[in-house]
Structure 1
Amino acid sequence: MTVLENSEEKGIIHVRPNCTQGNVTWPHPYNAVRLGLNPLTKGHEFETCVKIKVDFVSVIVYEENLGNIEGMKQLFIIQSGKERQYCKTSYSPITLFIEPVRSHVYWGPPKVVIYYERLELRSQMDPMRECRPCEEEELHKLFCTSDY
């Protein structure tokens, strides 16, 4: 996915990828990108990891708190030519706000590439497993290994 420049719209660009993994290329970054990563299944815990690479521009990365822009928390700053990874586990959507910091120090075309991956976390233990009747083999093993 590429964030395209639109001469009419110079505000915040909202990006909500549907794929479980991929990348977003943001050539000639301006204003900000708001990257919304939703759980794969509503109400289930998921982990998302984002790696951001920048060239000829620096960026400030914030995490939004429940859609409240005033409640943003600065996570980190990435300098030109560097990359940074951020992973988080949540039941609710995770929204990152990425803002470029222009400087006359850089002499090349500015570009930001955001790699993302979402993974649904499933509990190792099925809660219904405890509710089913034991099989004969399980009963035999429990009887033979118990301290009586």
Structure 2
Amino acid sequence: MALRCSFLHNLRTLRTARVAVLVIFACLVARTASETVTADECDWTGSGPSESGVTSVYLRCTEGRVTWKHPRGALLVLLRLPNPVSAAAQFRACVRPLKGSGGTTIWLQKRASLKKMFPEVRVKRGVAPPLECALSENGQVALFVETEAGAPDTDLSFQYHLEQLPSSGRFDPEKECKPCSEEELATAFCTSDLVARGRIVKTAENFVLKQTTLSVRATKTLRTLQGDDELENSIQAPVDDKTFHVVVGQHCDARQGDGEFVFMARRKLGDLTLTCAPRLEDWVRLSRRLNRVGASECILTA
């Protein structure tokens, strides 16, 4: 097995990429059976390789971070929902590298094979980091992170976010484009990281990430960001005290429009992701009515 697994660092000697993937996967399955498992709920931080070269990390959380200092060898990261409705519950996992250098590769295990997600985890200051998503199989997403011999000794860090799928197990990208219902609006207001009134002043398309960024000139902040104040390079931080950026899937065809809206957004993988955006006049009527009958978890303001 030691001889066969030496191919992990000599993939160029294999004739085809398909053979390389199968060899890596065969070695991974055989070697991780006896590896010491490192477990945590949301985040993992480690350094260097385990004694046999592969460290297994089990994470049960909807979002978190993996930080690998002085990476050497390989990681097997298994992502699972914290409290799934059933053992068969499926989810969508999105991964975004925060920092790293050449010589590190992230593979996604799919149907007994490995698919390369990011050819090289290289994140530069001022450049939006890559983002890739995958559907779970048998209730988990397995990531295999490998370093090559002679790679620079640079820390590697990436974020992940899990979103449970409906009972059908299918991801519907159009769902995030549909207008929010009254119940969804009330919930989004009370649970969002940022709720602000404002006007869209600019839109920008990112064809690599398949996202549209909305630049919003705020007229009134209703709820502010909560949590860690430290912003990674990937976070779309406000450019000043009155303008902020929110992202939405490019397939939603979001465009600049007239009028004032109430933007409700959650922080996801470093971005403020738009959840709901009712027109101000509609939100004023709805919030007053829901407050009057006590139909929300918090006091709704406008």
Query: Do they superpose with TM above 0.5?
Result: yes
- Residue 85, structure 1, aligned to residue 127, structure 2: no
State the alpha-carbon separation in 2 of the partners of residues 96 and 37 from structure 1.
Answer: 8
Hey, what does 1:129 align to over in structure 2? none
Hey, what does 2:93 align to over in structure 1? 48
Hey, what does 2:70 align to over in structure 1? 28
- Residue 122, structure 1, aligned to residue 169, structure 2: no
Q: 1:79 to 1:116 in 2, by over 3 A?
A: closer
State the alpha-carbon separation in 2 of the partners of residues 63 and 77 from structure 1.
Answer: 12
Hey, what does 1:100 align to over in structure 2? 147
The structure 1 segments of at least 4 consecutive aligned residues displaced by more than 4 Å after TM superposition are none
Q: Deviations over 1:68-121 (max 9, x none)?
A: 4xx2222331253354321112352211111123557x5xx5011021111112
Hey, what does 1:72 align to over in structure 2? 114
State the alpha-carbon separation in 2 of the partners of residues 110 and 45 from structure 1.
Answer: 34
Q: 1:54 to 1:101 in 2, by over 3 A?
A: farther
The letter of the residue matching 2:93 is T
What secondary structure is seen at the aligned counterpart in 2 of 1:16? Answer: strand
Q: 1:91 to 1:3 in 2, by over 3 A?
A: same
Q: State TM-score, norm by structure 2.
A: 0.34
The letter of the residue matching 1:90 is S
State the alpha-carbon separation in 2 of the partners of residues 73 and 57 from structure 1.
Answer: 18
Larger fraction in helix: 2
The letter of the residue matching 1:120 is Q
State the alpha-carbon separation in 1 of the partners of residues 94 and 135 from structure 2.
Answer: 9
State the alpha-carbon separation in 2 of the partners of residues 10 and 84 from structure 1.
Answer: 31
Task: State percent identity of aligned pairs.
Answer: 24
Q: State TM-score, norm by structure 1.
A: 0.65
The runs of 5 or more residues in structure 1 that have no matched partner are 125-148
The letter of the residue matching 1:72 is L
Larger fraction in strand: 1
Hey, what does 2:266 align to over in structure 1? none
Q: CA RMSD in A?
A: 2.6
Q: CA deviation at 1:29?
A: 0.6
State the alpha-carbon separation in 2 of the partners of residues 17 and 52 from structure 1.
Answer: 17
Q: CA deviation at 1:4?
A: 3.1
What secondary structure is seen at the aligned counterpart in 2 of 1:110? Answer: coil
Contact 2:48 2:73 (C-alpha < 8 Å) held by counterparts = no
State the alpha-carbon separation in 2 of the partners of residues 112 and 88 from structure 1.
Answer: 20
Q: CA deviation at 1:48?
A: 0.8
